[in-house]
């Protein structure tokens, strides 16, 4: 049973970045954050917000092929993993268990389903889903003109985020941040 649960509507990628930054500001090291969600639901966006908040500069991309990116110069250190293309036995090669037990590093895991039985009991589970897509069309003459000219319309895309903390460390992280 989770200790703490939160649900958030993310009205744009910048909101995902902000929520991730708040959690990063509370992280001490030793936490595991599991990022569940369909393709394109915002898992890497969350990791980017988390890492940027800790001072990581430059592009933050998903380690889809490398499986793992280690950020050792920030505090707490971060290990970003993506198991979308995980093959059997590869978890041992990347030292998965050692990373999970490292008290100075936060583990961010995209597609954690592939490591299901090996995840620590104390973990923060984040589920991202595609929310409603709202299309706004203006009825004003200006809006009508814009549509005629280039078919312009405003599309608001959103995501929903559900956070569930299992255990003491992840609960402390979630409670203090959100």
Ligand X SMILES: Nc1ncnc2c1ncn2[C@@H]1O[C@H](COP(=O)(O)OP(=O)(O)OP(=O)(O)O)[C@@H](O)[C@H]1O
Chain positions 89 to 118 lying near ligand X, rule: CB under 6 A, are: 110
* Count of residues touching ligand X (by CB under 6 A): 18
Rule CB under 5 A: which of 39-78 touch Mg ion? 43-44, 62
Q: Name the binder of 12 from Mg ion, ligand X, none, CB < 5-8 A by kind.
A: ligand X
b or e along 79-112 (b: 16 or more beta carbons within 10 Å of the residue's beta carbon)? bbbbbeebeeeebeebebeebbebeebbbbbbbb
Shorter beta-carbon distance to Mg ion: residue 37 or 167: 37
> Which contiguous run of DSSP H or E holds residue 111?
none
**Residue 32 touches which member of ligand X, Mg ion, none, C-beta under 5-8 Å by kind:** none
Whose Cβ is closer to Mg ion: residue 16's or residue 62's? Answer: 62
| Residue 10 touching ligand X (CB under 6 A) | yes
Residue 15's binding partner out of ligand X, Mg ion, none, with CB under 5 to 8 Å set by partner kind: ligand X
User: Is 173 a residue that touches ligand X (CB under 6 A)?
Assistant: no
**Whether 163 contacts 126, CB under 8 Å:** yes
**Near ligand X by CB under 6 A: residue from 20, 32, 34, 43:** 43
Q: What share of the chain is helix, strand, coil (3-state, %, to 5)?
A: 35, 30, 35
Give one DSSP letter per residue of 30-79, joined into a string: S-EEEEEESTTSSHHHHHHHHHHHTT--S-----TTTSEEEE-SSSSEEE
In the complex, which residues of this chain contact Mg ion (CB under 5 A)? 43-44, 62
- In the complex, the residues that contact ligand X under the rule CB under 6 A are 10, 12-13, 15-16, 37, 39-45, 62, 110, 157-159
């Amino acid at each position: 049973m989770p200790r703490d649960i939160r649900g958030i509507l993310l009205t744009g990628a910048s909101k995902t970045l902000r929520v991730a930054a708040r959690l990063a500001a509370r992280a001490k090291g030793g936490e595991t954050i599991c990022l569940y969600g369909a393709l394109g639901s915002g898992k890497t966006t969350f990791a980017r917000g988390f890492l940027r908040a800790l001072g990581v500069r430059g592009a933050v991309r998903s380690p889809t092929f490398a499986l793992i990116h280690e950020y050792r110069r920030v505090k707490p250190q971060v290990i970003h993993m993506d198991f979308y293309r995980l093959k059997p036995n590869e978890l041992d090669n990347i030292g998965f268990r050692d990373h999970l037990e490292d008290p100075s590093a936060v583990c961010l895991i995209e597609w954690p389903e592939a490591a299901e039985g090996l995840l620590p009991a104390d973990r923060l589970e984040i589920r991202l889903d595609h929310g409603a897509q709202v299309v706004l069309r203006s009825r004003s003459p200006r809006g009508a003109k814009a549509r005629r000219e280039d078919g312009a319309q405003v599309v608001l895309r959103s995501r929903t985020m559900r956070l569930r903390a299992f255990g003491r460390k992840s609960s402390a992280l979630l409670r203090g941040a959100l």
